[in-house]
Structures are given as structure tokens and as C-alpha cells.
């Protein structure tokens, strides 16, 4: 065998290794291991034993709607307030609606009826993969359409999202004039930037691996990572937005929320939890302060 053969063989092996690594990263992004309902119940109970009990005592109905893509979306309603004010809460990546109870409890206290749901590929919903907002925004739009159909066109409705749920609500409001306000907790500004950060965390060059990761993610989901840009979705928005983030967030930089806040031209507030507040844990860092901020936002900007 000649040296040319060994050179070609080595190049082929390197290319295959490159594609394999990129494919595995894409799978981690769009086909992650998600936590089942029982696991999220257990985790929420450990953080605050009152939350799961609160959901059990206040849930008024549970049902499925069918996504425009053909899978079911499981919905949980907490309609215990005589009001026309509603908020739909979107949970985070690899979790379930159980992670939204803490927000539901505060919003109920502020006089809102609450709708929780499981994203596609999460909890009790269907769907073969997750797209971190690309398709999820349309699922949310369809859920909001269902609520308006059931409750009437004159209701006052906002959305509230955590992490992936933040991206979902920020993307959805850009295509839905019915949404009156948004609360974003631990949100990322741009999914492509986030994925590149994760590639770098693996000690790999993002410029080399991201194009293949993006291609594999598209092959699996037919969704474009580069189109999931919450920071672009708020460019032409004027509704009130509250940005919340923890300073100790090692999954999504709190700088993302600061940048979105600074570039947003509508009515806005921001709350950055201090050093001990990690990803999607700002509420647990200081529950009283979080509620004070939420109440101030509600009293200042909302109906």
C-alpha cells in the first residue's frame, strides 16, 4: 500500500469522526433525554413541597389539544379566579409543566387564571423531537387560539416562559397580536449562539462543527437552528416585557437577558438575581424579591 492510500484513508476516518461528533451534538440538542412526569414531580417536591400540592388543589381541568403538526399537547388549567385575565406559562428544556407551578402560584396571587402545558417531546405531550422554539411557538399560538375560542375575544392574555419556554413565548408574540405582555425567565437571545457556546464548552472549534451540527439538526427536525432568534423577535414589539435571569446561570448567560432588555424599545423591566441564582432558579434564590418584581411589573404596565 502506498502513502497516498494511507493519506486518503486517514482523511476519510477524520471526516467520519467529524460527522459522528457533529451528529452526536445535534442529537443532544434536538433529541435530549427528557425528565418524565414522575421525576419532575419528585424534583419540584424536593425544592418546595408545597408546589405539587398547590397544583393538585388548584388544577381545574386537564385535556389535550392537537397540534397543527398532528401530535397532542397536554394542557392543565388553573381557573380559580373570576377574571378575564389569563397567562399561559411555558416550561423549560427537558422538563415538564411541573416546573411552571412556582410561576403559576405567583400569577394566581396577582389575579390571573393560569394555563400550563407540556411542550412537544416533553411531559405528557407528543412529538418526536424538540426544536427549542422553532415549532413550539406555533404550538403555543394554537393553544392561545383555543383559549380565545373558549373564553372569548375580549380576554386579556399574556405569556410567561422559562429557558426554552422563554424563547418560545418571545418568538410567538412576534406572530400574535393577541398577546398583551411577556415575562421571560432565563432566556437565550439566539439558539445558534447558544449551540456554538456548547460546542466550545466541549473544547471543539465552533466554526468547524456548527455547520454540520446545524445540518444534522435540520435533517432530524426540518427546523432551522439559525431561525430561533428571540432577540430578533422583539425588534418590532411594543408590549410590556419583564426579563428575569440569575447571575450564576452556567447554562444560558445572564448577559443574554441584559442584551435583549437593552435592545428592546417597548415598556420593560429587568431583574437579575445575584450570585447564587443559577439557571431557572432565580425564584428559589429569593422568592419574596421575585414576587415583588413581578407585582411591580404587573402594577406598572399590565391591565
Full-model pTM: 0.96
- Asked if 183 and 161 touch (Cβ cutoff 8 Å), the reply is yes
Number of helices followed by number of strands (H, E) in the chain:
12, 8
Domain assignments of the chain as residue spans, ordered by start = 1-30+195-222, 35-190+228-301
Sign of the CA dihedral running 155, 61, 172, 85 = positive
Residue 1, pLDDT score: 64
pLDDT along the chain (303 residues), means of 10: 78 94 97 97 94 97 98 97 96 98 98 98 98 98 98 97 98 98 98 97 96 98 97 97 96 97 98 89 94 98 93
The C-alpha cell at 201 is 464548552
Dist CA 109 CA 291 (whole Å):
10
Residue 99, pLDDT score: 97
What is the length of the chain? 303
Residue 2, pLDDT score: 82
pLDDT digits (tens, 9 = 90+) for 250-295: 999 999 999 999 999 999 999 999 877 899 999 999 999 999 999 9
- Asked if 250 and 261 touch (Cβ cutoff 8 Å), the reply is no
Query: Can you identify the CATH homologous superfamily of domain 35-190+228-301?
Result: Alpha/Beta hydrolase fold, catalytic domain (3.40.50.1820)
- Closest Cα partner for 186 from 107, 245, 256, 110? 245
Amino acid at each position: 500500500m502506498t502513502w497516498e492510500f494511507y493519506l486518503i484513508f486517514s482523511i476519510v476516518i477524520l471526516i467520519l469522526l467529524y460527522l459522528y461528533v457533529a451528529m452526536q451534538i445535534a442529537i443532544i440538542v434536538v433529541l435530549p433525554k427528557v425528565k418524565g412526569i414522575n421525576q419532575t414531580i419528585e424534583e419540584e417536591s424536593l425544592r418546595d413541597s408545597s408546589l405539587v400540592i398547590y397544583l393538585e388543589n388548584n388544577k381545574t381541568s386537564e385535556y389535550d389539544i392537537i397540534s397543527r403538526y398532528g401530535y397532542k399537547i397536554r394542557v392543565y388549567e388553573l381557573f380559580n379566579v373570576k377574571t378575564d385575565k389569563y397567562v399561559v406559562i411555558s416550561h423549560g428544556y427537558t422538563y415538564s409543566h411541573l416546573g411552571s407551578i412556582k410561576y403559576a402560584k405567583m400569577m394566581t396571587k396577582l389575579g390571573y387564571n393560569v394555563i400550563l402545558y407540556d411542550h412537544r417531546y416533553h411531559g405528557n405531550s407528543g412529538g418526536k423531537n424538540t426544536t427549542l422554539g422553532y415549532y413550539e411557538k406555533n404550538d403555543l399560538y394554537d393553544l392561545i387560539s383555543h383559549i380565545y375560542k373558549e373564553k372569548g375575544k375580549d380576554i386579556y392574555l399574556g405569556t410567561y416562559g422559562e429557558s426554552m419556554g422563554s424563547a418560545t413565548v418571545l418568538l410567538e408574540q412576534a406572530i400574535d397580536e393577541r398577546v398583551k405582555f411577556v415575562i421571560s425567565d432565563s432566556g437565550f437571545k439566539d439558539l445558534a449562539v447558544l449551540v456554538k457556546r456548547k460546542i466550545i464548552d466541549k473544547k471543539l472549534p465552533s466554526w468547524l462543527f456548527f455547520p454540520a451540527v446545524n445540518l444534522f439538526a435540520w435533517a432530524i427536525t426540518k427546523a432551522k437552528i439559525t431561525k430561533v432568534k428571540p432577540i430578533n423577535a422583539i425588534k418590532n414589539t411594543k408590549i410590556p416585557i419583564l426579563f428575569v435571569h440569575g447571575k450564576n446561570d452556567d447554562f444560558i448567560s445572564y448577559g443574554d437577558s441584559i442584551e435583549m432588555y437593552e435592545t428592546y424599545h417597548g415598556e420593560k423591566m429587568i431583574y437579575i438575581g445575584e450570585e447564587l441564582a443559577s439557571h431557572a432558579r432565580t425564584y428559589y434564590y429569593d422568592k419574596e424579591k421575585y414576587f415583588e418584581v413581578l407585582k411591580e411589573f404587573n402594577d406598572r404596565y399590565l391591565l
